[in-house]
Structure 1
Amino acid sequence: MVDRIDPLDITNIKALSTWMKTQNWRNIAKLEPCRFKDSGRGMRTRKGLEAGQLLVQIPRLLLMTAGGFRSSKEWSWLVDKNLSCHDALVLYLLVEKNKRDSSFFHAYIKTLPEEFSMPTDLGNEMICMLPTFIAMKFQDKIKSLQDSFKKVARGYKNICIKELGFCEFKWAYYVVNTRAVHITGSSGKFNADSSDCMALVPFLDLLNHTHDTSCISGFNPDTNCYEIETLSKTPKCSEVFINYGPHDNLSLFVEYGFLIPRNPNNCLPLEMTDFISACNEYDVKLSNLCLQTISLHNLMKNLGLFTDGPSWSVKALLKVLSCDWSSLMRIEDIIYRDFENQGLTEKTLLNCILDKKKGEVCDSLSAIAKDKSCLVTNCIVSFLEECLSIIEFSYAN
C-alpha cells in the first residue's frame, strides 16, 4: 500500500536529483520516492526491473568519504590520524553540515532524517528491564557511541572552533551507522584498509532493506561509480528493495533501529555461561578433558537459537557436556556421525536453558508492555515476542 509522501521530502529529493544530475548522475532505474505502509519512506520504480539490471550508478565525485577530508591540506593537520574510518566520516559529515548552504553536499544533507529513534537512547531504567542478552548488546553500543563522541568532539572543536553537542554528534553517528556502505572489492584509492573504506552515497539510502531480495553492490573502477545490480525481478510501480546482508533482528535493531517481520535470520544468542549454569543446576561435572574438547572443536562459537531450532554448536556442545570420559575419547564419532540421537542429559540441559531464557523474556515483556509509548519500546516488545516463538520451537527441536 502506498501513502502520500511528505511535501518537504519531495522538495528535498527533487533538489537532490537536480544537484546529482549536474554531476553526470542518471536515474537509470526510473526510481521515485513513495511512502509505504509497512516500510515507510522508500523508492518505487516507474518501470518493471529484470534481474541483472542496475538499480543505481552513483559517480565517485558524489560519494562522501573521509579519505579526501583527512588528506586535504586544509584539514589534515587538524584531524587525528588514528580516527577510525567510521569516526572520520562522522566528523566529515558534521563539518559539512556546519557549512550549511556552502557545502558541496548540502542537497544530500537536506534529505537526511532530522532525528533518529534508536535503542541506544533508552534510559538505564528501561535497559535494566531487558533480558541480559539484549541489555549487553545495548550497553556495548552505548559505550561505543560514547567513545566515538570523545574522539570526534576533539576534531570538531579544532576545525569548527566550537564545542560539539552530544545530540548533534549522535545525529551524525546514526547517519553514518545506518547509511554508510563499505567499499570493497575495488582498486586504487578504494580499499578496506584505507580511509575511504566507508562512504555515504546520495540517493542510495532512500532504498529500504529486505531479506528476501538479492543484489550485488560495490565500487566499479571501470565506470568510476558505486553500483547496485539487482538479482531479483521487480514489477512496475512496486517498491524497490536492497539487501544489507543476512542480519538477525537484534543486530538490525541495535545498529539500524528497525526490525524485519518474520526474519529467517533471527537468532536468540546464548553464552557459555548459560550452559555452565545448567550443568551446575543438574550436577553435571565439567572435567578438564570436557573443557579441552569444547575448546578444540570451537564449540563456544555460534551458540544460539534460530527460527529452525538450536544451532549445530548448541547441539554439539550439549552432547559433549553429557558425555562420560570414555565417550569423550571418541567425540568425533559422536558429534559428527551419531549426531541425531539426543540423550536424556542433553534434553535436560537444553530445557533448563530454554526455561531460564523464557522466564527472562516473559519478565521483560510484563515490565515493558506497560509502556508502549514510543517506537523503540514497541520494537522491543515485538522482538521479545519473536524470541518467545524461537524458544517454544526449540523445545521440540
Structure 2
Amino acid sequence: MTVKLQEWLGKGGAEGLSWLQLENFPDTGRGVKTLRPLKLNDVVLTIPGSFLWTIEAAFDDSVLGPIIRSVKPSLSVEDTLAVFLLFIKSREEGDEELEVCSGSSLYYLTQQLKQQIKDDYLQLLNNLFSKHPDIFLLERFTQNDYMWALCTIWSRAMDFQLPDKQFRCIAPFADMLNHSPDVQLCHIYNPRSDSLQVFINYGPVPNNRLLRLYGFVLPNNPYDSYDLILSTHPGAPFYDQKVALLESAGLQVNATFALTLSDPLPLDVLRYLRIQRLLSSEISAMVVNREARNIVSARNEAEILKALIESFEGLLANFGIPLEELQEKIAFGLYKQGDNVWAAAHVSIGEQRILRMALQKTRELLALVICAQCGKADEDNKRCSRCRKVVYCGRDCQKKHYKKHKVICD
C-alpha cells in the first residue's frame, strides 16, 4: 500500500496535498496543518477508493487472499484488516499512561480489551497462523504485533453505512488529520465515484473515547463525560415490580448514564434509583395510583442521595492520581505534551472533574432533604428562608445549627 500511495502522489495526487503539511502541534501532537483557511463544509482531502485499506484489498492480495478466505469460521472485519496490516508489516521489516488514568472508565475498559485481545489472538494462532507458518512467521506475528495491528484498526479505521453493506477502511494520510469540534462533518465515502472525502470533525466525542479510538485528546474537551452504570440484581426485593416501573419510565434495568460537564447528574439517574429503592408500600401506591409515580418520599430521596454520595466518593478515591496533582504535572511539563501519558492525564482530569461536579450537586440536593442539624428526612422539613440551601425539621434544630450555618448563609 505504501507503493500504491507513492504511485498516486506521482500521478498528481500530490496536487490535492499541496496546501497540507505534516506538523507537530503543541496540544495534540502529530497531525496535518492546512496552509489556507477552511470554510464551512470545505473538503480537506479526497482519496481514490483504490488506495483504501479494506477487506476487499486483503482478499485481492495474491498471497494472503486465498488463505484468509479459507479460514473457518470466517475472520471478522477487524481481524482481517489487522492480519493484513501485520502481513504487510512483516514483509517490509528486515503502561505508564494506564497508571496515570487508573480509576477512570478508560482504565477499566483497557484492561478488559487486553484480555479480549489475548483471547482473540489465541484463536487466530490456532485457526490461521499456526496452519500457515511459512506465510505467518510466528516471531513476526506475536500477540504484541497483533495488538499493534488491532489498535491501528480501532484508531485509524473509518466506517460507512452503504445501502447494501457496512464499509470499513483505512485511508492513507487521512488518519493524520486532526479533530476540530467547530466543523460539522468527519468523512464521506461516495460509492458512485469510489472516493473518500475527508473533513475534520469526529463528532461530540469525549476524551476517553478520542484516546481509545483515535489516539489523541483535546485539552478541556467540552464533550467530556463519565459513564455511570446502574443495574438491579434479579435477586433484589420486588424485582419484577421494579422492572415494570423502570420500563414504564422508559429506563432499562441495566442502564448506562452519561454524566457530562453540562449535566453532571442527569434526572434519569435519580429516577432510576428512586424506583430501585422503593419499599413495598410505595410500590403498591404507585401501582394503584399513577399520579403517585411523581411523588417522591423524603425517606426514598435521602436514601438514594446518600448512596450516590458514597458511590461518587468511592469512584474518586479509586483514581490513581488526584485531579490537582495531574494539573500540576501538566502545568510544569512533567508529562511530555502530546504523548500517551499526557493524553491519559487529560482523560483522568476530565472524568474526575465531572465526578466532583456530580458529587457536589448530590450533596446540594441532600441538603434540601435532611435536617441540617439532626439529619432527619421528613416531608415537613422547611428551608432556611434566607439562603434556601438547607432545611430544618423544626425551630429547635434551626437554633442549634445557627452558629455553623450563619457562616455560609447568604
The two structures have a TM-score, normalised by structure 2, of 0.68
**Counterpart in 2 of 1:61?**
50
Give how far 1:248 is off.
Answer: 2.5
Question: How many pairs does the alignment contain?
Answer: 334
Residue in structure 1 matched with residue 175 of structure 2 by the alignment: 205
2:184 corresponds in structure 1 to 214
Cα drift, residue 383 of structure 1: 3.0
1:292 to 1:266, Cα distance in 2 relative to 1, 3 A: same
Deviations 1:33-76, CA, capped at 9 Å, x for gaps: 11111111111222222112211110011111122323556434
The yes-or-no answer on 1:145 pairing with 2:121 is no
Does 2:32 match 1:32?
no
Distance 1:118 1:325 in 2: 49
Identify the residue that residue 293 of structure 1 maps to in structure 2: 245
Flag structure 2 segments of 5+ consecutive residues without an equivalent.
Answer: 363-410
Q: Which amino acid aligns with 1:354?
A: I
Amino acid at match of 2:197: E
1:181-196 equivalence runs, <5 A = 181-185=158-162, 191-192=165-166
Cα shift at 1:145:
1.7
1:265 equivalent among 203, 223, 241: 223
Taking structure 1 as reference, are residues 343 and 248 closer, same or farther at Cα in structure 2, changes over 3 Å only? farther
Map 1:1-397 onto structure 2 (within 5 A): 18-22=6-10, 25-28=13-16, 30-70=19-59, 74-79=63-68, 80=71, 82-100=74-92, 122=98, 126=99, 130-131=102-103, 133-153=105-125, 155-156=128-129, 158=132, 160-163=135-138, 164-185=141-162, 191-192=165-166, 197-228=167-198, 230=199, 242-273=200-231, 288-296=240-248, 297-299=250-252, 300-307=254-261, 308-321=263-276, 323=278, 324-329=282-287, 345-346=300-301, 348-366=303-321, 376-394=340-358, 395-396=360-361
Question: For 2:179 and 2:186, how far apart are their aligned partners in 1?
Answer: 13
Secondary structure, aligned partner of 2:16: coil
Classify the secondary structure of the residue corresponding to 2:319. Answer: helix
> How far 1:302 sits from its partner (Å)?
3.1
Q: Is the 8 A contact 2:316 2:355 kept in 1?
A: no
Query: 1:226, CA displacement in angstroms?
Result: 0.9
| 8 Å Cα contact 1:320/1:331 also seen in 2 | no
Letter in 2 for 1:259: V
CA distance in 1, matches of 2:182, 2:306: 32
Contact 1:186 1:221 in 2 (8 A): no
Secondary structure of 1:49's aligned partner: coil
- The percentage of counterpart residues that share the same residue type is 18
SS of the equivalent of 2:187 reads: strand
Alpha-carbon separation, structure 2, partners of 1:27 and 1:344: 69
Letter in 1 for 2:304: L
Distance 1:271 1:151 in 2: 31
CA contact (8 A) 2:259 2:266 kept: yes
Cα 1:162–1:17, aligned 2, differ >3 Å: closer, same or farther? closer
RMSD: 3.8
Between Structure 1 and Structure 2, whose CA radius of gyration is higher? 2
| Structure-2 separation of matches of 1:347 and 1:268 | 23
- Runs of 5+ unmatched residues, structure 1: 1-12, 102-116, 231-241
Residue 176 (structure 1) shift: 1.4
Could you say if the C-alpha distance between residues 391 and 345 of structure 1 is closer, same or farther in structure 2, counting changes exceeding 3 Å?
Answer: farther
Alignment CA distance shift 1:76-1:36 (3 Å): closer
Deviation of the 1:86 alpha carbon:
0.7
